[in-house]
Amino acid sequence: MIGLLLWLLMMAFAWVSGCWKVLLAIFLMMSAHEAAHCLAALLVHCPVRRVRIYPFGLCAQIDEISYISVPHALFILAAGPCAHLLFPAALHMASSCSLISTAFAAYLNEINRAMLCFNLLPVVPLDGGRIMQTLFHLWLPYAKAQRLGVCCSFAALALIFLSGFMSDAAGLITLAILFGQELLQHARLTEDRLNFYRYRLSHPFLGRRKVHDGHDLYRTRTNYLREGTALIDERAWLKRLFHCRYGQNMI
């Protein structure tokens, strides 16, 4: 119902304003961005749960991107922004073939550049924020990396607000939406951590060994947790965790 309402509002706006060409270009840019994410996910065998079509473009849902190997996650996340790098050449070709005017091509290039820069802001769930958060997993255990990503996102939003960079009405609304997204990300940290543990239990990771005393797992390592003088491998630790938390049937 919400999707249908968005479509109707966008069509009405395009009809009244007469800027359907700009809206179509934005739709194509966003769709290419999400299609690049999907293609990259398929190349590394990461399932795409669903792809929805909104008036502003496609929207892909890739649930396991926070749990798969860091190189694969970075590949998927970087694919979207890289898609924007193709548009200057495409717009130049379109203007050379007289499909659009040179001035309109330059205007669309500015829109494309703005979309790319915005998407690379270090704010989760934007790609820049997700890339930042994923890089934290190279040296931090899962929960700390996720929490640090959210904290850095809050800090980035505060700096953007104080700088006045997005001080107009549209910018403030965008910042408010992103702040709300951050609150949701923070509220879901525990749930996200448990989902990672479930994924790790069903998808064992083989990598460099990491022996530590913590009560968490390093995403990029095969974990061995120290308990007194004994070592317990991560799979046994996860089975015991879910047995204690939910009972044997939840494993």
pLDDT digits (tens, 9 = 90+) for 118-174: 999 999 989 999 999 999 999 999 999 999 999 999 999 999 999 988 888 888 998
- CB-hemisphere CA count at 13 Å for 157? 24
pLDDT digits (tens, 9 = 90+) for 201-249: 999 998 899 999 988 999 999 999 998 888 999 999 999 988 876 555 4
* Alpha-carbon torsion, ordered 125, 129, 135, 137, to 10 deg: -40
**Mind giving me the DSSP string for 97-141?**
TTSS-HHHHHHHHHHHHHHHHHHTSS-TTSHHHHHHHHHHTTTS-
Q: What are phi and psi of 205, to 5 degrees?
A: -105, 130
Average pLDDT along the chain: 88
